[in-house]
Amino acid sequence: MTDLPATVTLADVAREAGVSKMTVSNVINNKPGMSEDTRQRVRHAIDRTGYVVNPAARALSSKRPRNNLIGVLTPQLNWPWVAELLHGASTTAEAAGLNLAIFTTASNPTLERERATLLRTLADGVLLVIPSAEEHSIFGDSVPVVTLGGHGQHTVQVDNYTGGYLATKHLIDLGHTRVAHLAGQNDDTPLRDATDRQAGYHAALLDAGLPVPDAYVQKGEYAEDVAERVTRTLLTLPEPPTAIFAANDLSAIGALRAAAALGRRVPQDLSIVGFDDIHAAAVTDPPLTTVRQPLEEMGQAAARLLIHLTRNEPTDSHVRFPATLVVRGSTAPPGQEAHMDP
Amino acid sequence: MTDLPATVTLADVAREAGVSKMTVSNVINNKPGMSEDTRQRVRHAIDRTGYVVNPAARALSSKRPRNNLIGVLTPQLNWPWVAELLHGASTTAEAAGLNLAIFTTASNPTLERERATLLRTLADGVLLVIPSAEEHSIFGDSVPVVTLGGHGQHTVQVDNYTGGYLATKHLIDLGHTRVAHLAGQNDDTPLRDATDRQAGYHAALLDAGLPVPDAYVQKGEYAEDVAERVTRTLLTLPEPPTAIFAANDLSAIGALRAAAALGRRVPQDLSIVGFDDIHAAAVTDPPLTTVRQPLEEMGQAAARLLIHLTRNEPTDSHVRFPATLVVRGSTAPPGQEAHMDP
DNA sequence: TTGTAGGCGTTATCAC
DNA sequence: GTGATAACGCCTACAA
Contact B280, A280 (CB under 8 A): yes
Query: Taking the model in full, what pTM does it have?
Result: 0.88
Residue A165 has pLDDT above 90, yes or no: yes
C-beta atoms of A138 and B3 within 8 A: yes
Confidence at residue B312, expressed as pLDDT on a 0 to 100 scale: 85
Q: Which residues contact A305 (CB under 8 A, 6 or more apart)?
A: A146, A154, A156, A315, A316, A319
DSSP string of A77-112, one letter each residue: TT-HHHHHHHHHHHHHHHHTT-EEEEEEPPSSHHHH
* Strand D bases, protein C-beta under 7 A: 1-5, 7-13
Helix ranges, chain A (H): 10-17, 21-28, 36-49, 55-61, 80-95, 109-122, 133-139, 160-173, 192-207, 224-235, 249-261, 295-310
Task: Convert the pLDDT of each residue in B142-154 to its tens digit.
Answer: 889 999 988 889 9
The residue type of B153 is Q
Q: Which residues of B309-337 are buried (b: 16+ CB within 10 A; e: fewer)?
A: bbeeeebeeebebebbbbbbbbbbbbeee
Q: Which residues contact A72 (CB under 8 A, 6 or more apart)?
A: A86, A89, A100, A101, A102, A103, A126, A127, A129
Confidence at residue A146, expressed as pLDDT on a 0 to 100 scale: 96
Helix ranges, chain B (H): 10-17, 21-28, 36-49, 55-61, 80-95, 109-122, 133-139, 160-173, 192-207, 224-235, 249-261, 295-310
pLDDT, mean over chain A: 90
Of B74, B88, B72, B95, whose CA–CA distance to B296 is shortest? B88
Q: Which residue of B has its CA nearest to A78?
A: B83
The residue type of B160 is N
Task: Convert the pLDDT of each residue in B303-325 to its tens digit.
Answer: 999 999 998 888 988 999 999 99
Q: How far is the CA of A43 from the C1' of C2 (A)?
A: 16
Task: Convert the pLDDT of each residue in A203-213 to its tens digit.
Answer: 999 999 999 99
What's the CA gap between B237 and B229, in Å, rounded?
13
Q: Strands B289-292 and B324-326: what pairing?
A: antiparallel
Residue A133 has pLDDT above 80, yes or no: no
Q: Which of A1, A53, A99 to mutate to test the interface with B (most CBs of B within 10 A)?
A: A99
Q: Is A178 helix (H, G, I), strand (E, B) or coil?
A: coil
Q: Is A190 helix (H, G, I), strand (E, B) or coil?
A: coil
C-beta atoms of A106 and B94 within 8 A: yes
What's the CA gap between A158 and A259, in Å, rounded?
29
Q: Kindly list the residues from chain A whose CB atom is less than 8 angstroms away from the CB atom of residue B52.
A: 113-114, 116-117
What's the CA gap between A47 and A57, in Å, rounded?
20
Task: Convert the pLDDT of each residue in B165-210 to its tens digit.
Answer: 999 999 999 999 999 999 997 666 667 889 999 999 999 999 999 9
What's the CA gap between B181 and B218, in Å, rounded?
6
Angle, vertex CA B27, rays to CA B23 and CA B33, nearest 5: 75
Q: Which of B103, B118, B290 to mutate to test the interface with A (most CBs of A within 10 A)?
A: B118
A32: the nucleotide nearest its CA (via C1') is: C1
What's the CA gap between A272 and A255, in Å, rounded?
8
Contact A130, A193 (CB under 8 A): yes
Confidence at residue A140, expressed as pLDDT on a 0 to 100 scale: 78
Task: Convert the pLDDT of each residue in B200-240 to its tens digit.
Answer: 999 999 999 999 999 999 999 999 999 999 999 999 999 99
What's the CA gap between A269 and A249, in Å, rounded?
19
Q: Which residue of A has its CA nearest to B82?
A: A78
